[in-house]
Amino acid sequence: MKADAASRALFVGITGREPDGVWSAPGRVNLIGEHTDYNDGFVLPFAIDRRTYAAAGLRTDGRIHVASTFAPGVVEVGLEELDTLFPAGRDAVPEWARYQLGVAWALRRVTGVGVGIDLAIASDVPVGAGLSSSAAIEGAVAVALDGLWGLGLDGVALAQAGRTAENEAVGAPTGIMDQLAAMLGRADAATFIDCRSLETEIVDLGFEGAGLALLVIDTGVKHSHSTGGYRERRDACERGAALLGVSALRDVTVGDLPRAAELMDEVTFRRVRHVVTEDQRVLDTVETLRTEGPRAIGPLLLASHASMRDDFEISVPELDTAVEASVAAGALGARMTGGGFGGAAIALVPKTRIETVKDAVNAGFAASGFPQPHLFTVTPSDGAWQAVSVYCMGGARDPAS
Protein backbone atom coordinates (compact mmCIF):
# COMPACT_ATOMS: atom_id res chain seq x y z
CA MET A 1 0.00 0.00 0.00
CA LYS A 2 1.28 3.49 -0.79
CA ALA A 3 2.23 5.59 2.23
CA ASP A 4 -0.58 8.14 1.79
CA ALA A 5 -3.20 5.39 1.80
CA ALA A 6 -1.38 3.60 4.63
CA SER A 7 -1.51 6.65 6.90
CA ARG A 8 -5.23 7.00 6.26
CA ALA A 9 -5.84 3.28 6.84
CA LEU A 10 -3.88 3.42 10.11
CA PHE A 11 -5.92 6.43 11.20
CA VAL A 12 -9.17 4.61 10.51
CA GLY A 13 -7.78 1.57 12.33
CA ILE A 14 -6.94 3.41 15.55
CA THR A 15 -9.90 5.82 15.65
CA GLY A 16 -12.76 4.14 13.76
CA ARG A 17 -13.37 7.33 11.78
CA GLU A 18 -11.98 9.13 8.72
CA PRO A 19 -9.23 11.75 9.23
CA ASP A 20 -9.98 15.44 8.75
CA GLY A 21 -7.12 15.49 6.23
CA VAL A 22 -3.81 13.96 5.18
CA TRP A 23 -0.76 16.22 5.14
CA SER A 24 2.74 15.37 3.99
CA ALA A 25 6.36 16.49 3.81
CA PRO A 26 9.29 15.07 1.82
CA GLY A 27 12.71 13.78 2.67
CA ARG A 28 15.65 15.68 1.24
CA VAL A 29 19.01 15.25 -0.38
CA ASN A 30 21.74 17.76 0.25
CA LEU A 31 23.26 18.56 -3.13
CA ILE A 32 26.25 20.32 -1.54
CA GLY A 33 27.19 22.04 1.73
CA GLU A 34 28.05 19.47 4.41
CA HIS A 35 28.75 20.37 8.07
CA THR A 36 28.37 24.02 7.12
CA ASP A 37 24.93 24.52 8.72
CA TYR A 38 26.03 24.65 12.34
CA ASN A 39 28.91 26.92 11.28
CA ASP A 40 26.36 29.57 10.18
CA GLY A 41 27.25 28.83 6.54
CA PHE A 42 25.54 27.83 3.30
CA VAL A 43 23.73 24.68 2.16
CA LEU A 44 21.91 23.66 -1.02
CA PRO A 45 19.45 20.81 -0.34
CA PHE A 46 16.42 19.77 -2.37
CA ALA A 47 13.19 18.03 -1.40
CA ILE A 48 12.72 14.58 -2.94
CA ASP A 49 9.83 12.55 -4.31
CA ARG A 50 9.62 10.38 -1.17
CA ARG A 51 7.29 11.61 1.51
CA THR A 52 5.98 11.05 5.00
CA TYR A 53 2.20 11.34 5.44
CA ALA A 54 0.28 12.39 8.53
CA ALA A 55 -3.43 11.57 8.60
CA ALA A 56 -4.90 13.76 11.30
CA GLY A 57 -8.19 14.59 12.95
CA LEU A 58 -9.25 16.75 15.89
CA ARG A 59 -10.28 15.28 19.27
CA THR A 60 -12.52 17.00 21.78
CA ASP A 61 -10.85 15.71 24.97
CA GLY A 62 -7.57 17.69 24.90
CA ARG A 63 -5.46 14.60 24.32
CA ILE A 64 -2.98 13.64 21.59
CA HIS A 65 -2.91 10.09 20.25
CA VAL A 66 -0.07 9.17 17.87
CA ALA A 67 0.58 6.02 15.87
CA SER A 68 2.95 5.09 13.04
CA THR A 69 3.43 2.17 10.69
CA PHE A 70 7.09 2.47 11.82
CA ALA A 71 6.36 0.88 15.22
CA PRO A 72 3.42 -0.87 16.91
CA GLY A 73 1.17 0.76 19.49
CA VAL A 74 -0.56 4.07 20.13
CA VAL A 75 1.02 6.67 22.43
CA GLU A 76 -1.50 8.85 24.29
CA VAL A 77 -0.77 12.01 26.27
CA GLY A 78 -2.72 15.03 27.47
CA LEU A 79 -1.79 18.40 25.93
CA GLU A 80 -0.81 19.81 29.32
CA GLU A 81 1.48 16.81 29.91
CA LEU A 82 3.72 17.87 26.98
CA ASP A 83 5.53 20.42 29.16
CA THR A 84 6.49 17.71 31.64
CA LEU A 85 7.68 15.33 28.89
CA PHE A 86 9.98 17.76 27.07
CA PRO A 87 12.81 18.19 27.29
CA ALA A 88 13.63 16.42 30.56
CA GLY A 89 11.01 13.66 30.72
CA ARG A 90 11.33 12.39 27.15
CA ASP A 91 12.30 8.87 28.23
CA ALA A 92 8.66 8.31 29.20
CA VAL A 93 7.66 8.02 25.52
CA PRO A 94 9.23 5.83 22.80
CA GLU A 95 11.67 7.59 20.48
CA TRP A 96 9.49 7.35 17.36
CA ALA A 97 6.68 9.25 19.13
CA ARG A 98 8.93 12.10 20.31
CA TYR A 99 9.01 13.64 16.82
CA GLN A 100 5.21 14.01 16.59
CA LEU A 101 4.68 14.99 20.23
CA GLY A 102 7.74 17.24 20.10
CA VAL A 103 6.32 19.22 17.17
CA ALA A 104 3.00 19.61 19.01
CA TRP A 105 4.88 20.76 22.11
CA ALA A 106 7.00 23.24 20.12
CA LEU A 107 4.02 24.74 18.25
CA ARG A 108 1.95 25.01 21.42
CA ARG A 109 4.81 26.75 23.20
CA VAL A 110 5.20 29.32 20.41
CA THR A 111 1.53 29.98 19.66
CA GLY A 112 -0.29 29.16 22.89
CA VAL A 113 -2.72 27.13 20.78
CA GLY A 114 -3.36 23.44 21.28
CA VAL A 115 -6.32 21.20 20.58
CA GLY A 116 -6.58 17.43 21.03
CA ILE A 117 -5.65 15.44 17.95
CA ASP A 118 -5.24 11.95 16.50
CA LEU A 119 -2.21 11.47 14.24
CA ALA A 120 -1.35 8.43 12.11
CA ILE A 121 1.98 8.37 10.24
CA ALA A 122 3.22 6.36 7.28
CA SER A 123 6.28 7.06 5.18
CA ASP A 124 8.20 6.05 2.11
CA VAL A 125 11.36 7.92 3.14
CA PRO A 126 14.00 5.32 4.08
CA VAL A 127 15.07 5.72 7.71
CA GLY A 128 18.70 6.42 8.55
CA ALA A 129 19.82 6.60 4.90
CA GLY A 130 20.81 10.27 5.03
CA LEU A 131 17.52 11.37 3.44
CA SER A 132 16.18 12.92 6.65
CA SER A 133 13.15 10.82 7.45
CA SER A 134 13.18 12.76 10.73
CA ALA A 135 12.60 16.14 9.05
CA ALA A 136 9.92 14.54 6.87
CA ILE A 137 7.93 13.36 9.88
CA GLU A 138 8.41 16.69 11.64
CA GLY A 139 7.29 18.56 8.52
CA ALA A 140 4.23 16.39 7.95
CA VAL A 141 3.10 16.83 11.56
CA ALA A 142 3.87 20.57 11.53
CA VAL A 143 1.70 21.24 8.45
CA ALA A 144 -1.07 19.00 9.83
CA LEU A 145 -1.15 20.89 13.14
CA ASP A 146 -0.85 24.25 11.37
CA GLY A 147 -3.92 23.32 9.33
CA LEU A 148 -6.06 21.78 12.06
CA TRP A 149 -5.11 24.27 14.79
CA GLY A 150 -5.60 27.18 12.36
CA LEU A 151 -2.14 28.61 13.09
CA GLY A 152 -1.40 30.19 9.70
CA LEU A 153 2.37 29.98 10.25
CA ASP A 154 4.81 30.22 7.34
CA GLY A 155 7.24 27.52 6.22
CA VAL A 156 10.18 28.95 8.14
CA ALA A 157 8.23 29.03 11.43
CA LEU A 158 7.05 25.45 10.89
CA ALA A 159 10.63 24.40 10.10
CA GLN A 160 11.75 26.03 13.35
CA ALA A 161 9.17 23.99 15.29
CA GLY A 162 10.55 20.84 13.64
CA ARG A 163 14.06 21.76 14.63
CA THR A 164 12.98 22.44 18.21
CA ALA A 165 11.38 18.99 18.31
CA GLU A 166 14.51 17.33 16.96
CA ASN A 167 16.92 19.22 19.25
CA GLU A 168 14.94 19.30 22.48
CA ALA A 169 12.30 16.57 22.33
CA VAL A 170 14.42 13.93 20.55
CA GLY A 171 17.79 15.25 21.72
CA ALA A 172 19.60 15.27 18.34
CA PRO A 173 21.86 18.35 17.98
CA THR A 174 21.11 19.14 14.31
CA GLY A 175 20.80 22.38 12.35
CA ILE A 176 17.68 23.59 10.53
CA MET A 177 18.65 22.66 6.96
CA ASP A 178 16.58 19.48 6.73
CA GLN A 179 13.39 21.06 8.01
CA LEU A 180 13.70 24.10 5.72
CA ALA A 181 14.33 21.85 2.71
CA ALA A 182 11.30 19.70 3.55
CA MET A 183 9.06 22.75 3.95
CA LEU A 184 10.22 25.06 1.15
CA GLY A 185 11.34 22.77 -1.72
CA ARG A 186 10.19 23.27 -5.32
CA ALA A 187 10.06 20.85 -8.26
CA ASP A 188 13.33 20.67 -10.25
CA ALA A 189 14.90 23.22 -7.89
CA ALA A 190 17.07 23.34 -4.77
CA THR A 191 16.72 25.57 -1.72
CA PHE A 192 19.77 27.73 -1.03
CA ILE A 193 19.88 28.49 2.69
CA ASP A 194 21.98 31.03 4.53
CA CYS A 195 22.05 29.27 7.90
CA ARG A 196 22.90 32.48 9.75
CA SER A 197 20.08 34.74 8.53
CA LEU A 198 17.77 31.83 7.55
CA GLU A 199 17.21 33.65 4.28
CA THR A 200 16.39 31.20 1.52
CA GLU A 201 16.36 31.30 -2.25
CA ILE A 202 14.98 28.82 -4.75
CA VAL A 203 17.67 27.85 -7.29
CA ASP A 204 16.60 26.09 -10.50
CA LEU A 205 18.42 22.81 -11.01
CA GLY A 206 17.32 22.13 -14.57
CA PHE A 207 18.05 18.39 -14.28
CA GLU A 208 14.96 17.62 -16.35
CA GLY A 209 15.94 19.75 -19.35
CA ALA A 210 19.58 18.62 -19.21
CA GLY A 211 18.60 14.93 -19.23
CA LEU A 212 20.16 14.31 -15.82
CA ALA A 213 19.11 12.03 -12.98
CA LEU A 214 20.24 12.01 -9.38
CA LEU A 215 21.18 8.54 -8.20
CA VAL A 216 21.20 7.80 -4.46
CA ILE A 217 23.57 5.05 -3.36
CA ASP A 218 22.50 4.00 0.13
CA THR A 219 25.45 2.05 1.51
CA GLY A 220 23.42 0.50 4.31
CA VAL A 221 26.16 1.52 6.76
CA LYS A 222 24.25 3.00 9.71
CA HIS A 223 25.23 6.42 10.87
CA SER A 224 24.25 7.88 14.21
CA HIS A 225 24.36 11.54 15.15
CA SER A 226 24.84 10.70 18.79
CA THR A 227 28.20 8.99 18.28
CA GLY A 228 31.43 10.76 19.21
CA GLY A 229 32.55 11.57 15.65
CA TYR A 230 29.86 14.15 15.03
CA ARG A 231 30.45 15.83 18.41
CA GLU A 232 34.21 15.86 17.81
CA ARG A 233 33.76 17.63 14.44
CA ARG A 234 31.51 20.27 15.97
CA ASP A 235 33.99 20.84 18.78
CA ALA A 236 36.86 21.23 16.28
CA CYS A 237 34.87 23.84 14.34
CA GLU A 238 34.14 25.79 17.52
CA ARG A 239 37.79 25.60 18.56
CA GLY A 240 38.94 26.81 15.12
CA ALA A 241 36.50 29.71 15.15
CA ALA A 242 37.62 30.74 18.64
CA LEU A 243 41.30 30.67 17.63
CA LEU A 244 40.46 32.84 14.61
CA GLY A 245 38.49 35.26 16.79
CA VAL A 246 35.17 34.83 14.95
CA SER A 247 31.80 33.68 16.24
CA ALA A 248 31.46 31.05 13.49
CA LEU A 249 33.53 29.68 10.60
CA ARG A 250 31.12 31.39 8.23
CA ASP A 251 33.19 34.52 8.86
CA VAL A 252 36.39 32.91 7.56
CA THR A 253 37.21 33.00 3.83
CA VAL A 254 39.50 30.88 1.69
CA GLY A 255 41.99 33.78 1.74
CA ASP A 256 42.22 33.51 5.55
CA LEU A 257 43.37 29.89 5.45
CA PRO A 258 47.15 30.51 5.45
CA ARG A 259 46.75 32.50 8.68
CA ALA A 260 44.51 29.77 10.12
CA ALA A 261 47.21 27.18 9.46
CA GLU A 262 49.59 29.07 11.74
CA LEU A 263 47.09 29.47 14.56
CA MET A 264 46.04 25.89 15.18
CA ASP A 265 47.08 22.27 15.22
CA GLU A 266 47.05 20.34 11.96
CA VAL A 267 43.85 18.35 12.58
CA THR A 268 41.83 21.39 13.67
CA PHE A 269 43.12 23.24 10.61
CA ARG A 270 41.94 20.52 8.24
CA ARG A 271 38.47 20.57 9.87
CA VAL A 272 38.37 24.34 9.40
CA ARG A 273 39.60 24.09 5.80
CA HIS A 274 36.77 21.70 4.95
CA VAL A 275 34.09 24.05 6.27
CA VAL A 276 35.58 27.19 4.71
CA THR A 277 36.12 25.64 1.26
CA GLU A 278 32.72 23.90 1.40
CA ASP A 279 30.96 27.23 1.98
CA GLN A 280 32.73 28.57 -1.11
CA ARG A 281 31.76 25.46 -3.12
CA VAL A 282 28.09 26.01 -2.27
CA LEU A 283 28.29 29.60 -3.57
CA ASP A 284 30.18 28.39 -6.66
CA THR A 285 27.55 25.70 -7.29
CA VAL A 286 24.72 28.24 -7.20
CA GLU A 287 26.66 30.50 -9.57
CA THR A 288 27.51 27.60 -11.91
CA LEU A 289 23.89 26.39 -12.01
CA ARG A 290 22.82 29.88 -13.03
CA THR A 291 25.50 30.54 -15.63
CA GLU A 292 26.48 27.18 -17.09
CA GLY A 293 23.76 24.76 -15.98
CA PRO A 294 23.72 21.50 -14.04
CA ARG A 295 26.14 19.55 -16.23
CA ALA A 296 28.94 21.85 -15.07
CA ILE A 297 28.67 21.22 -11.30
CA GLY A 298 30.31 17.78 -11.34
CA PRO A 299 33.82 18.94 -10.33
CA LEU A 300 32.37 20.83 -7.35
CA LEU A 301 30.61 17.68 -6.12
CA LEU A 302 33.85 15.72 -6.44
CA ALA A 303 35.88 18.38 -4.63
CA SER A 304 33.31 18.33 -1.82
CA HIS A 305 33.71 14.58 -1.45
CA ALA A 306 37.50 14.78 -1.41
CA SER A 307 37.34 17.45 1.28
CA MET A 308 35.08 15.31 3.48
CA ARG A 309 37.25 12.26 2.92
CA ASP A 310 40.64 13.88 3.49
CA ASP A 311 40.09 17.01 5.61
CA PHE A 312 36.94 16.34 7.64
CA GLU A 313 37.52 12.55 7.68
CA ILE A 314 33.86 11.56 7.79
CA SER A 315 33.72 9.23 4.79
CA VAL A 316 33.87 5.43 4.95
CA PRO A 317 35.28 2.99 2.33
CA GLU A 318 31.76 2.15 1.07
CA LEU A 319 31.07 5.83 0.31
CA ASP A 320 34.43 6.26 -1.44
CA THR A 321 33.72 3.19 -3.55
CA ALA A 322 30.28 4.56 -4.48
CA VAL A 323 31.81 7.84 -5.66
CA GLU A 324 34.74 6.31 -7.54
CA ALA A 325 32.72 3.60 -9.28
CA SER A 326 29.93 5.93 -10.38
CA VAL A 327 32.32 8.54 -11.81
CA ALA A 328 34.36 5.88 -13.62
CA ALA A 329 31.11 4.68 -15.25
CA GLY A 330 30.04 8.11 -16.50
CA ALA A 331 28.57 10.10 -13.60
CA LEU A 332 29.39 13.81 -13.99
CA GLY A 333 30.06 14.13 -10.28
CA ALA A 334 29.38 12.35 -7.00
CA ARG A 335 29.78 12.86 -3.27
CA MET A 336 28.75 11.45 0.05
CA THR A 337 25.74 13.33 1.43
CA GLY A 338 24.51 13.78 4.98
CA GLY A 339 26.45 13.77 8.21
CA GLY A 340 28.88 11.03 7.25
CA PHE A 341 30.22 7.85 8.89
CA GLY A 342 27.84 5.90 6.64
CA GLY A 343 24.55 6.69 4.98
CA ALA A 344 24.33 7.56 1.30
CA ALA A 345 26.24 9.02 -1.61
CA ILE A 346 24.70 10.84 -4.56
CA ALA A 347 25.76 10.78 -8.20
CA LEU A 348 24.71 13.15 -10.95
CA VAL A 349 24.21 10.94 -13.99
CA PRO A 350 23.07 11.44 -17.60
CA LYS A 351 19.76 9.56 -17.82
CA THR A 352 21.14 7.41 -20.64
CA ARG A 353 23.89 6.07 -18.36
CA ILE A 354 21.88 5.27 -15.24
CA GLU A 355 21.88 1.49 -15.71
CA THR A 356 25.61 1.46 -16.56
CA VAL A 357 26.42 3.45 -13.41
CA LYS A 358 24.21 1.22 -11.22
CA ASP A 359 25.92 -1.90 -12.57
CA ALA A 360 29.36 -0.38 -11.97
CA VAL A 361 28.53 0.57 -8.38
CA ASN A 362 27.16 -2.90 -7.65
CA ALA A 363 30.29 -4.44 -9.18
CA GLY A 364 32.56 -2.13 -7.17
CA PHE A 365 30.82 -3.09 -3.92
CA ALA A 366 31.02 -6.80 -4.77
CA ALA A 367 34.73 -6.52 -5.61
CA SER A 368 35.42 -4.94 -2.21
CA GLY A 369 33.33 -7.49 -0.33
CA PHE A 370 30.73 -4.91 0.79
CA PRO A 371 27.02 -5.86 1.02
CA GLN A 372 25.11 -4.65 -2.05
CA PRO A 373 24.00 -1.03 -1.73
CA HIS A 374 20.42 0.14 -2.24
CA LEU A 375 20.24 2.18 -5.47
CA PHE A 376 17.42 4.49 -6.51
CA THR A 377 16.93 7.80 -8.29
CA VAL A 378 15.27 10.80 -6.68
CA THR A 379 13.55 13.74 -8.35
CA PRO A 380 13.76 17.27 -6.90
CA SER A 381 10.18 17.87 -5.75
CA ASP A 382 7.82 20.21 -3.95
CA GLY A 383 8.05 20.67 -0.19
CA ALA A 384 5.28 20.11 2.36
CA TRP A 385 1.76 20.37 1.08
CA GLN A 386 -1.62 19.11 2.01
CA ALA A 387 -1.70 15.87 0.11
CA VAL A 388 -4.37 13.51 -1.08
CA SER A 389 -7.63 15.16 -0.13
CA VAL A 390 -9.66 16.72 2.61
CA TYR A 391 -12.17 14.34 4.10
CA CYS A 392 -15.48 15.64 5.29
CA MET A 393 -18.68 14.09 6.49
CA GLY A 394 -20.03 11.75 3.85
CA GLY A 395 -16.70 10.82 2.32
CA ALA A 396 -13.65 12.05 0.47
CA ARG A 397 -13.59 15.25 -1.54
CA ASP A 398 -10.86 16.42 -3.85
CA PRO A 399 -9.59 19.80 -2.55
CA ALA A 400 -9.40 21.07 -6.15
CA SER A 401 -13.07 20.37 -6.85
Q: What is the 3-state secondary structure (H, E, C) of 144-166?
A: HHHHHCCCCCCHHHHHHHHHHHH
Binding partner of residue 326 among Mg ion, ligand ADP, none, CB under 5 to 8 Å per kind? none
- Indicate whether 133 belongs to the interface with ligand ADP (CB under 6 A): yes
List 218's β-bridge partners, or say none: 344, 374
Burial string for 100-113 (b: 16+ CB within 10 Å, else e) reads bbbbbbbbbeebee
Give the residue, chosen from 11, 23, 96, 269, that forms a contact with ligand ADP under the rule CB under 6 A.
96
For residues 337 and 305, what is the distance between their CA atoms, to the nearest angstrom? Answer: 9
Residue 334 site contact among Mg ion, ligand ADP, none (CB < 5 to 8 Å, cut-off depends on kind):
none
Helices within 165-246 (DSSP H only): 177-184, 228-244
When asked if residue 315 is in the footprint of ligand ADP (CB under 6 A), the reply is no
Residue from the set 132, 160, 191, 315 that interacts with ligand ADP by CB under 6 A:
132
Residue 24 engages ligand ADP in binding (rule: CB under 6 A): no
Asked if 130 touches ligand ADP (CB under 6 A), the answer is yes
- Residue 55 interacts with, from Mg ion, ligand ADP, none (CB under 5-8 Å by kind): none
Burial class (CB in 10 A: 0-12, 13-18, 19+), 392: exposed
Distance of CA 297 to the CA centre of its chain: 21
DSSP 167: I
Least distance in angstroms from the C-beta of 67 to ligand ADP:
9
Which residues have a Cβ under 8 Å from the Cβ of 9 and sit 6 or more positions away? 1
341 binds ligand ADP (CB under 6 A): no
Instruction: Single out the residue of 106, 121, 180, 322 in contact with ligand ADP (rule: CB under 6 A).
Output: 121
Element (H, E) at 307: helix 298-307
Residue 134 interacts with Mg ion (CB under 5 A)?
yes
Candidate list 5, 115, 127, 187; residue touching ligand ADP; CB under 6 A: 127
Q: Is 134 in the site for ligand ADP (CB under 6 A)?
A: yes
For residue 179, the one-letter residue type is: Q
Stretch that binds Mg ion, among 108-116, 119-127, 134-142, 292-300 (CB under 5 A): 134-142
State the Cα–Cα distance between residues 71 and 100, nearest whole angstrom.
Answer: 13
The string of DSSP letters for 22-78 reads EEEEEEEEE-S--S-GGGT-EE-EEEEEEEEEEEEEE-SSSEEEEEETTEEEEEEEE
Number of residues that bind ligand ADP (CB under 6 A): 16
Active site (annotated) includes residue 218: no
30 is a contact residue toward Mg ion (CB under 5 A) = no
Catalytic residue of the set 20, 40, 146, 178: 178
CA dihedral 13, 139, 287, 379 (to 10 degrees): 0
Binding range to Mg ion, per CB under 5 A, among 127-135, 157-165, 202-210, 377-385:
127-135
7 is an interface residue for ligand ADP by CB under 6 A: no
Q: Indicate which of Mg ion, ligand ADP, none lies near residue 96 (CB less than 5 to 8 Å, by partner kind).
A: ligand ADP
The footprint of ligand ADP (CB under 6 A) covers 52, 68, 70, 95-96, 99, 121, 123, 127-128, 130-134, 137
The footprint of Mg ion (CB under 5 A) covers 132, 134
Positions annotated as catalytic residues are 178
